[in-house]
Amino acid sequence: MTTDNLSLVLEKQLDMQLKQRPVPEPSDYQVLIQMHSVGICGSDVHYWQNGRISDYIVRKPMVLGHESSGTIVKCGSKVTHLKPGDRVAIEPGVPCRRCDQCLIGRYNLCPYIEFCATPPVDGTLCRYYLHDASFCFKLPDHVSMEEGALLEPLAVAVHSCRRAGVGPHSNVLICGAGPIGLVNLLVAKAMGVPTVVITDIIESRLPVAKSFGADKTIAIARGDSIETQIKKVTDALGSRPDITIECSGAEPSINLAIQVTKTGGTIQLVGMGAPEIKTSLLTALCKEIDIRGTFRYANCYPTALALVASKKVDVLPLITHRFALEESIKAFETAHKPETGAIKVMIKCQK
C-alpha cells in the first residue's frame, strides 16, 4: 500500500486530468481493490466529449471507467467470502436491494443504483478503488485480469440475448459491429444460434466480425434504400431474421430492424442513440413485433464469467490497444478517433 492513488478525473466536458486522490478505507461490507485493468467504454468517451448522457449530467469532477478488474488489498470487517490477494472482476452497479425492482431481481432498474462513472458516482480508473464486496467476482486462476475487465460488456450481451430469447431455434440479425455488437455476436453463437448476420456502415469492421464468428456480414451504404437493405439481409440469412439485436442506436438502423424482422419476431434495442427518433410503430404493430429494451444487466456476471472460464467465449481479441494509467488521455483519444481502428482500449492501472 502507498499513498499513490493516481486517478483519471473528468473535471468537465472536454477536460480530463490525471490527479492524486486519497486512498480510501473500506466500510464493513466493502473491499479496497488495487486496480489492474480498465476498458474504455463508449459511455466514458461520451461523457468526456459531451458532458452528459440523457439526464446523467457531469456537474462535478468524476473519475471515469467501469469495465474493471483488480486485486483485493483490504476487506471490511464483515466481508467473509473474499480476502486480500483475491483477483476479482467488478460489477459496477450497486443497487439499494430494497426497492420493488431489486426485490423481484431486476436490480438494474433500481432507481437508487450507484453505477461507476455515471454522474455523480466515481469510476475505477485509479490505483485504488472501493466497492461493495457482493458485486466483486473472484476470478479463477486461468482467467486473466483483462478477461475479468471484459466481463462488463459481455454481461451486457448476456442480458440482451436472454431478453431477446436467442437460441438454437432462432436466426439473428445484429445491427452494428462495434464492441457491443461483437459481444452480442459471441454470446449468440455460444447460445447455439445457427446463423448470425451482422451489419455496419463502416465496412472495415466487417472482417473483424467475421473473425468473431459471424456467418455473414453486410456493408450498409448510407445511400441504400430500405428495400435494398432488406434484400441484403434476406439474401444473407435466406429469410427474414427471427430476432434483430440493434446495437447502434441509429435511427436508420432501428427502422431497418422494424422493416426486416419477421412477422411475430423480436427486436432487442441495445444501442443508445438520440432521445427521439422517427419510425413506423404502425409497421411493428401490424407485424406483432416485440420491441424490448435493454438497460445494463442483472444477474449476468456469473454467466459471463462461466462463458469466459469455459473458453466458450474468447473476449481477448476485442482488445486492440493497451495504455498505462499515466497515458489515459492518449488512450481516450485513441478510443475516440475512428481512424485508429480501436475496438477495445485497455488501460493498465498498476504502476
The domain locations on the chain are 6-150+315-348, 157-293
88, 131 in Cβ contact below 8 A?
no
Q: 97 near 107, Cβ under 8 Å?
A: yes
Phi, psi of 106 (to 5 degrees): -100, 55
Which helix (H) or strand (E) covers residue 321, if one does? Answer: strand 319-324
Residue length, the chain? 351
User: Beta strands 56-57 and 93-94: pairing type?
Assistant: unpaired
C-alpha span between 166 and 308 (Å, rounded):
19
Distance CA 121, CA 98 (A): 20
6-150+315-348: what fold?
Quinone Oxidoreductase; Chain A, domain 1 (3.90.180)
Report the distance separating Cα 295 and Cα 288, nearest Å. Answer: 23
| Residues paired with residue 172 on neighbouring β-strands, in sequence order | 196, 243
Q: Per the structure block, which three cell numbers stand in for 47?
A: 461523457
Nearest partner of 270 among 183, 146, 151, 170, judged by Cα: 183
pTM of the entire predicted model: 0.96
Per-residue pLDDT at 339: 94
* Span 185-233, pLDDT tens digits: 999 999 999 999 999 999 999 999 999 999 999 999 999 999 999 999 9
Architecture in CATH of 157-293: 3-Layer(aba) Sandwich (3.40)
> Distance (Å, rounded) from C-alpha 172 to C-alpha 230?
14
Q: What is the pLDDT along the chain (351 residues), one digit of tens a residue?
A: 578 999 999 999 999 999 999 999 999 999 999 999 999 999 999 999 999 998 999 999 999 999 999 999 999 999 999 999 999 999 999 999 999 999 999 999 999 999 999 999 999 999 999 999 999 999 999 999 999 999 999 999 999 999 999 999 999 999 999 999 999 999 999 999 999 999 999 999 999 999 999 999 999 999 999 999 999 999 999 999 999 999 999 999 999 999 999 999 999 999 998 889 999 999 999 999 999 999 999 999 999 999 999 999 999 999 999 999 999 999 999 999 999 999 999 999 998
| Backbone φ, ψ for residue 16 (5° rounding) | -105, 140
